[in-house]
Amino acid sequence: MGSAFRILIADDDVASRKVLQGFLEGRGFQVRTAESATEAASLLKDRGQELLISAISMADCSGLDLLVRAQEVDPSLDVILMTGYLDMSFAIQGMRKGAFDFFHKPFNFEKIGFAVDRAQEQRDVRPDAQRYMVEKREKELQQETALSLARAAEGRDRLNIGHGRRVAAYAVKLARKLCYSQEGIARLELGCKLHDIGKIGIDDAILNKAGPLTDSEFVIMKRHSEIGEYIIKPVSFFSELVPVLRWHHERWDGAGYPDGLSGEDIPLDARIAGLCDFFDAVTSKRPYRNPMSLAEALSMVEAERGKYFDPMLVDLFLEIQAPHLESVA
Ligand SMILES: [Fe+2]
Ligand SMILES: [Fe+2]
């Protein structure tokens, strides 16, 4: 085990203190000792210790009280209690108060060694575990926020219920073909679910118009990609979704909007979202037209190879078997 692990032994019994110190130093640990709870509490104030091994029964103060004080001074400190066999109820109280472990006197060195090693191992992995919990919560928060934003957007865009979800489902199929990482797939999926969030900022009369848009209405509608970026940008954990929101209407040949990007200048996530967005739009019913059949929609995608869409993505999309496309309902 690592020699840097710093242990403080608190025991007013000099023989126990010395024998335990000798054992732990023999295993390479850095050991300090305190002959009273008061001295231990004062040494703990410099927060230089990683493990406190304290007798429960001491003349000036109980090890249980020292445990509570130690936790106040340094919440990350682990505490192992030493107890006589007759003090079992105190040991149990100590565990309830947050002690890491306890062992009995007279010492069983095998058990002590095991308990101290375990304390060190847990301390070593604790930062990873804490980081994992924080990241997990961040992801949950991200999903919850995304869901409410998507609901807000879908509530306004009544002609397009389920559009974001379907675009995301097609995009995931394409991303798998491109061997996207799990992280990349999650990012793309979320971006596609929210790609039209900017429609929140488009007037109802245009958004839910039961007919094709006029040129001037279309100019207004086109603003949704920039509005989407504007909405999402202040949320730091959504920053990686910006390319999909802003550029999902760019075209491979540069004739798209809002920036007229072309070819590989359009981020891949946005190129995928754009193709899947188009495919879902033409296969969905509108008040002024019936949905295209799968075959018609696929031949339209093929016709736009190298014009509207990245040729490589078109080839991969056409490889997806019809039942897999039809399953996205
Ligand atoms: Fe859009
Ligand atoms: Fe869309």
CATH T-level fold of 6-127? Rossmann fold (3.40.50)
According to DSSP, residue 293 is labeled P
Among all bound ligands, the one having the nearest atom to the CA of 192 is 2
Domain locations along the chain: 6-127, 157-326
Any idea which architecture 157-326 has in CATH?
Answer: Orthogonal Bundle (1.10)
Which residue has better confidence, 134 or 111?
A: 111
Among all bound ligands, the one having the nearest atom to the CA of 281 is 2
Which residue among 177, 199, 222, 233 is the active-site one? 199
Q: Compute, in angstroms, the gap from residue 276 CA to the centroid of ligand 1.
A: 11
Q: Compute, in angstroms, the gap from residue 141 CA to the centroid of ligand 2.
A: 24
Per-residue pLDDT, 85: 62
Is 199 catalytic? The answer is: yes
CA distances to 28, 172, 209 from 189, in Å: 51, 6, 28
| Protein residues with C-beta less than 5 angstroms from the ion ligand 2 | 196, 277
The pTM score is: 0.64
Between CA 24 and CA 22 the distance in angstroms is 6
Select the highest-mean-pLDDT range: 136-140, 212-216, 232-236: 212-216
Q: Is 210 exposed, middle or buried (0-12, 13-18, 19+ CB in 10 A)?
A: exposed
| pLDDT, tens digit, 9 for 90 and up, residues 189-219 | 999 999 999 999 999 899 888 888 999 999 9
| pLDDT, tens digit, 9 for 90 and up, residues 67-81 | 999 989 888 899 999
The secondary structure of 21-73 as a DSSP string is: HHHHHHTT-EEEEESSHHHHHHHHTT---SEEEEES--SSS-HHHHHHHHHHH
Per-residue pLDDT, 47: 80
Q: Compute, in angstroms, the gap from residue 69 CA to the centroid of ligand 1.
A: 59
Q: Compute, in angstroms, the gap from residue 236 CA to the centroid of ligand 2.
A: 23
Q: How many CB atoms are located within 10 Å of the residue 146 CB?
A: 22
Among all bound ligands, the one having the nearest atom to the CA of 249 is 1
Edge-first strand order for the sheet with 101-105 is 30-34, 6-10, 51-55, 78-84, 101-105
Between CA 161 and CA 196 the distance in angstroms is 12
Question: Which residues make beta-bridge pairs with 237?
Answer: none
CA distances to 6, 113, 215, 279, 304 from 221, in Å: 65, 70, 10, 19, 22
Per-residue pLDDT, 211: 85
Q: Compute, in angstroms, the gap from residue 305 CA to the centroid of ligand 1.
A: 20
